[in-house]
A and B are shown apart, each in its own frame.
Chain A
Amino acid sequence: MTEVRDSSPDTADAPQSFSTAPVDGDGAPVGIGVVGWLRWAWRTLTSMRTALVLLFLLALASVPGSLLPQRGTNPIRVNDYLADDPVKGRILDRLGLFDVFSAPWFAAIYLLLFISLAGCVLPRSLQHWRTVRSRPPAAPRNLGRLPEHRRVEPAAEVQPQQTLDTAAAWLRKARWRVDTTAYDGAAGTVAAEKGYSRETGNLVFHVALLCLLGAVAYGSLFGFKGTVIVREGSSFADTRGQFDSFNPGKAFQDSSLPPFAFTLTRFTAAYQRGGQQNGAAREFSADVSVVSEPGATPTTGTVQVNDPLVVNGVKVFLVGHGYAPTITVKDAKGQVVFHDSVVFLPQDGNFTSTGVVKAPDTVPQLGLQGFFLPTAAVDTVHGPHSTFPAADDPGVFLSAWSGDLGLDTGRPQSVYALDTTHMTKLGIEALRPGQSWTLPGGHGTVTFDGYVQWASFTVASDPGKDLALIAAIAAITGLALSLLVRRRRVWVRVSSGPGGVTVVEVAGLTRSEHTSVAEEVDALATALGTTTSSRTTAPKGPEENR
C-alpha cells in the first residue's frame, strides 16, 4: 500500500495505473439503500485514509500503556496506584487504562485496522495475481510523452524486425517480462515490465502482519506462563499447584503441562565491587538438577539470564533472585515450633529484603516480621538497610508478635505479610548468624541460623511463537522488496517514418516514487544503435549537485 494512488500529469497517458489499489471512497452517496450504505462503509473502512487514522489511533492508544503501570507487567504498582489515589485509580481502572493492551477499545482499534488491511490487501492480491499473469501493457500511442524517451538510429543494414528481436533478447536477458508485436511493414513494438516484486512484497508484508496477529492470538490462547520461587535445596515440580502465579491461555489444558521437576542445588551471583557501578550485578547462575519425566535419571544443568533451560519443549527462565534467612522458633518449653528458610523479597538494589515468619503451632501464636540485610547497616536516616547486594555481613532485624495470626478466618493471606490486628508486639532485635533472641514474657526463643539464596523462575510455553517468527521474517522481506524494488516499464517502437526512414524509439516510465528508469532506457538505446535525440524528466532525486 505504499504505491502512489493518484496519477501525475506526465504519466496520464500510461496505459494503466501500476497500482492495483482501489480508489479511495468518495463522499457518502445519497439514496442508495442499505446495500449502498454497506458498500460505502466497506469502501471507507478499507481506504488508505481510514487506515492512516487507525494507525494514529493505535499509536496514541499505546501511550497510556507505557506511562501508567500495567497489570500484565507490574500488578504490584497497579495496586499501589489504586491505594494511593482510589478515586482517580478507579476511574482509570474502569476505562481499562491499567490493562490497555487487553482493553476492548484497544482491541477494537487493531481489529478495525486489520479488517481494513484485509479488505484492502485481498482484492489487491487477486488483481496483482492477474497482472503478473497477463502481458505487459501495450505501448502508448505517443512514446514521446513518456518521462524517458530516446530516438535511436540503428546501423544501416539492420532490418526493423531485427531491431525488435535485439531489444526483446536484451530485455529478456535482463529478466524483464517481454511482449512483442511483430513488425508489419508500418510498425512493431516490444513492451516490457519489471519489478513486480514491489507489489508482491507489499502484499506479502501486509498478509504477514495478519499472520502475525493470528500467531499472537494462537499463542496467547494455547500457551501458559507461570512463575515460581525456588530456594537452594528445594524442588519444583511442573504442576499448576506448585506455581506462585500461573497464567494459562483461555484454551490451555493442564494435561499439556509437561511433567518435569528440578531442584535448585546452588545459586551464584557476582557483583561489581568498587567504582561508579558498585553493586551492579555481573553474573547470575542457577545450578539445577532436572528430572525430565517421572522416573527419569536426574541430569544437571545451569540456568542463566539469557540462557534458559529447555525441558520437554518448555523453557525455564531465570528471572530473579533473593535471600531466604533460616529461622528457628522454639516455644517456652524449648520445643521447636518452626524451622525453615523463609523467602524474603528484595526491596532495593542492595537487597534490603522484607519477609514474615508465621509460627501457628504454639499458643499464643507467634509471628515475626522484619528485614534480611545481606550487608547489614543501621542508621537514623534509612533505618536497617543493606549496603551491598552480596551477603558479606548478613543480619536480620526482626520484630516479634504474639496473639492470633488470623489463619483460621478462611480468608486467603499473603505469605509475605503479617496481619497484626489481633497480635501484640513483643519487641525488636537485630541478629547475626547463629545468634538467638529470648523473647520477652517467656514466649520462647528465635534463632537466626543462617541463610540460603532463592531464585525465581518463569516457566513458559508459547506454541504460536514459531509462526510469529516466520511471519515477522516474511514481513521484513516483503517490506524490503516493496520499498527498495522499482516497478518500471519500457517500450521499443520501430516504425517507418516519412520518406521510408525507419524510426526507432525507446521510452520508459516508473511509478515508484523518486526513481528513474533513465539508465536502463539509455542502456537499451545503446544496444539498439546510436541515440540521436534524448529527453529525460528532471531527476527528482537528491544525487545531482546543486
Chain B
Amino acid sequence: MTVNETLATYSNYLVYGAMAAYTIAMIAFAVSFAAMRGRDLVPAASVPAGTEVDSGAVAVATKVATTVGGPDDGALPPGRRAGNIGMSTTWLGTILLGVAVLLRGLSVGRAPWGNMCEFSMTSAFAIALTFCLMSLRRDLRWLGVFVVTPVLLILGAAMTFLYTEAAQLVPALKSYWLVIHVSAAMICGAAFCIGATVTVLFLVADASERRHAAGRNYPLDWLASRLPQSARLDAMAYRIHAFMFPLWTFAIVAGAIWAENAWGRYWGWDPKETWAFITWVAYAAYLHARATVGWKGRKAAAIALIAFGCFVFNYVGVNIFITGLHSYAGV
C-alpha cells in the first residue's frame, strides 16, 4: 500500500491549526489564571482534610460557585471569561488534532504511531482529549495552562526535530499488537503526564500551606492561592495514578505477548523493557508509599514524579541514546 501524500499534507496543516488554537488557549488560560482571585491560604490550610462540615454549608458553597459562573450573570468573576475562551479553544485544537491524527493514519493505512513523530502527535492528542473529558465533570480551568503548555511543546517537537514523513512501517512493527500495546502505552503516558502536572501543583500548594500554617510566606504563594487545596490536588493525582496503573501493567503485558510473538521470548531485558519495568516498579512504589505511614504526601508525590521521569526517559532517552530491539528507522 502506498502513502497518500495529499492526506499527509492536510494532516500537517491541521496540526499547525491545532497548535495555533492551543497557543490561544495557553495565553487565555494564563490570563485567566493570573486574573483569578486567589483564595486566602491561611484559613484553607488551617482546616485539616476530612474535617466534618455541615452539608448545608457545602451545598451553599457549591451553589455559589456554580451560579457565579453562570452565563447570564452580568458580572463574571475575574478571569472567568478568559478561562472560557481557553476551554473552547482547547476543544477546538483537540478536534483539529484528532482529525490530523486520523488523516495521518489514513494516509499510511495503519495506526498513526509508527515512529516518534507520530507517537508524539497522538500522545499530545491523548493528553488534550483526557483533559477535555476530565473537564466535562469538573471545572478544570485552573489546570488548563499547565496541560496545554506541555501539549504545545510536544507538538512542536513532533513537527520539528522529530518530524518524519508519512511512510510505511518496518516489518518489526507490522502487527496488530502495535495497535493494542502502543495505544495502551500512549493513554497511560497521557494520564501520567496530567498526573505528574497535578502532583507538581500539589507540591506547590502543600509547601505554601505548610509555610502559612507556620505563619510564614512562600515565594510561590501567588500560584498556590489560585490552586485548589493541596488535599484535593493530592486526591486527584492519586486517582489518576491508581486508575492508570492497571492499564500500564496491561501495556507491559501486551508488549510481552508481542515480544514473544516477534522475538521468541516474552521478556528479554531489552532497554525499553527494562525502563518499562523500572517505571512500573516506581509507580508501584508510589501506590505503596501512599499506604505507608510516614510516606504520604510529599514523599509519595516525589516518587510519582520520579516514576514519570522514568516514563519520559523510556520514551525519549531510550529511543534516542540507547540502541536496542526497540530502535527503528525514523526513530
Query: Taking beta carbons and an 8 Å cutoff, which residues of A are in contact with B?
Result: 1-6, 8, 10, 24, 48-49, 51-52, 55-56, 58-59, 62-63, 65-67, 70, 72-73, 100-101, 147, 216, 225, 272, 275-277, 279-284, 304-308, 315, 317, 319, 349, 458-460, 462, 465, 468-469, 472-473, 475-476, 479-480, 483-484, 513-514, 534-546
Asked whether B40 is an interface residue with its Cβ less than 8 Å from the other chain, the reply is no
Once bound together, how far apart are the Cα atoms of A479 and B232, in whole Å? 24
Sample of 22 A–B contacts (CB below 8 Å): A2-B290, A5-B292, A5-B293, A10-B50, A24-B293, A48-B292, A49-B295, A55-B281, A59-B278, A73-B270, A275-B165, A277-B329, A282-B171, A306-B258, A315-B264, A465-B260, A465-B266, A469-B253, A472-B256, A534-B55, A540-B235, A546-B142
Asked whether B72 is an interface residue with its Cβ less than 8 Å from the other chain, the reply is no
Among A10, A459, A542, A544, max chain B CB count under 10 A is at A542
CB-based contact A308/B264 at 8 Å = yes
Known: A52-B288, A67-B322. A62 touches B277 (CB 8 A): yes
CB-based contact A280/B170 at 8 Å = yes
Once bound together, how far apart are the Cα atoms of A459 and B265, in whole Å? 10
CB-based contact B170/A535 at 8 Å = no
Known: A2-B291, A51-B288, A546-B142. A483 touches B246 (CB 8 A): yes
Q: Which residues of B contact A349 (CB under 8 A)?
A: 329
Shortest C-beta distance, A153 to chain B (Å), equals: 17
Once bound together, how far apart are the Cα atoms of A411 and B135, in whole Å? 71
Once bound together, how far apart are the Cα atoms of A2 and B296, in whole Å? 12
Shortest C-beta distance, B98 to chain A (Å), equals: 25
Asked whether B233 is an interface residue with its Cβ less than 8 Å from the other chain, the reply is yes
Known: A306-B261, A479-B245. A277 touches B52 (CB 8 A): no
Once bound together, how far apart are the Cα atoms of A537 and B242, in whole Å? 23
Asked whether B275 is an interface residue with its Cβ less than 8 Å from the other chain, the reply is yes
Asked whether B109 is an interface residue with its Cβ less than 8 Å from the other chain, the reply is no
Shortest C-beta distance, A21 to chain B (Å), equals: 8
Closest 7 CB pairs of A and B: A280-B329, A460-B264, A542-B236, A66-B274, A66-B271, A306-B175, A514-B235
Shortest C-beta distance, B295 to chain A (Å), equals: 7
Once bound together, how far apart are the Cα atoms of A536 and B169, in whole Å? 56
Q: Which residues of A contact B233 (CB under 8 A)?
A: 542
CB-based contact B137/A1 at 8 Å = no
Q: Which residues of B contact A479 (CB under 8 A)?
A: 245-246, 249
Shortest C-beta distance, B35 to chain A (Å), equals: 15
CB-based contact B278/A545 at 8 Å = no
Once bound together, how far apart are the Cα atoms of A178 and B268, in whole Å? 49
**Contact count A vs B, C-beta below 8 Å:** 215
CB-based contact B288/A277 at 8 Å = no
User: Across the two chains, which residue of chain B brings its CB closest to A70?
Assistant: B269
CB-based contact A469/B288 at 8 Å = no
CB-based contact A272/B167 at 8 Å = yes
Asked whether B180 is an interface residue with its Cβ less than 8 Å from the other chain, the reply is no
CB-based contact A65/B65 at 8 Å = no
Among A6, A276, A306, max chain B CB count under 10 A is at A306
Q: Which residues of A contact B264 (CB under 8 A)?
A: 225, 308, 315, 317, 319, 458-460
CB-based contact A5/B291 at 8 Å = yes
Asked whether B284 is an interface residue with its Cβ less than 8 Å from the other chain, the reply is yes
Q: Which residues of A contact B245 (CB under 8 A)?
A: 479, 483
Q: Which residues of A contact B263 (CB under 8 A)?
A: 317, 319, 458
CB-based contact A6/B266 at 8 Å = no
Once bound together, how far apart are the Cα atoms of A59 and B242, in whole Å? 19
CB-based contact B274/A1 at 8 Å = no
Asked whether B282 is an interface residue with its Cβ less than 8 Å from the other chain, the reply is yes
CB-based contact B266/A468 at 8 Å = yes
Q: Which residues of A contact B260 (CB under 8 A)?
A: 462, 465
CB-based contact A59/B269 at 8 Å = no
Once bound together, how far apart are the Cα atoms of A513 and B239, in whole Å? 9
Known: A2-B287, A24-B293, A476-B246. A73 touches B171 (CB 8 A): no
Asked whether B138 is an interface residue with its Cβ less than 8 Å from the other chain, the reply is yes
* Proximity string of chain B (50-66) to chain A, C-beta cutoff 8 Å, 1 when within and 0 when not: 11111100100010011
Among A24, A55, A317, A538, max chain B CB count under 10 A is at A538
Asked whether B250 is an interface residue with its Cβ less than 8 Å from the other chain, the reply is yes
User: Across the two chains, which residue of chain B brings its CB closest to A539?
Assistant: B58
Among A147, A460, A473, A537, max chain B CB count under 10 A is at A537
User: Across the two chains, which residue of chain A brings its CB closest to B164?
Assistant: A276
Known: A225-B264, A537-B53, A546-B228. A66 touches B322 (CB 8 A): yes
* Proximity string of chain B (154-196) to chain A, C-beta cutoff 8 Å, 1 when within and 0 when not: 0000000000110111111011010000000000000000000
CB-based contact A462/B292 at 8 Å = no
CB-based contact A513/B290 at 8 Å = yes
Shortest C-beta distance, B241 to chain A (Å), equals: 9
Asked whether B312 is an interface residue with its Cβ less than 8 Å from the other chain, the reply is no
CB-based contact B274/A6 at 8 Å = no
CB-based contact B58/A538 at 8 Å = yes
Known: A55-B281, A542-B232. A536 touches B291 (CB 8 A): no
Known: A2-B291, A55-B288, A70-B269. A541 touches B55 (CB 8 A): no
Once bound together, how far apart are the Cα atoms of A308 and B236, in whole Å? 45
Q: Which residues of B contact A275 (CB under 8 A)?
A: 165, 167
Once bound together, how far apart are the Cα atoms of A513 and B50, in whole Å? 11
Once bound together, how far apart are the Cα atoms of A6 and B290, in whole Å? 11
Asked whether B27 is an interface residue with its Cβ less than 8 Å from the other chain, the reply is no
Once bound together, how far apart are the Cα atoms of A225 and B260, in whole Å? 12
Once bound together, how far apart are the Cα atoms of A392 and B83, in whole Å? 60
User: Across the two chains, which residue of chain A brings its CB closest to B231?
Assistant: A540
CB-based contact B139/A546 at 8 Å = yes
Give the contacting residue for B249; candidates A51, A225, A475, A541; CB below 8 A.
A475
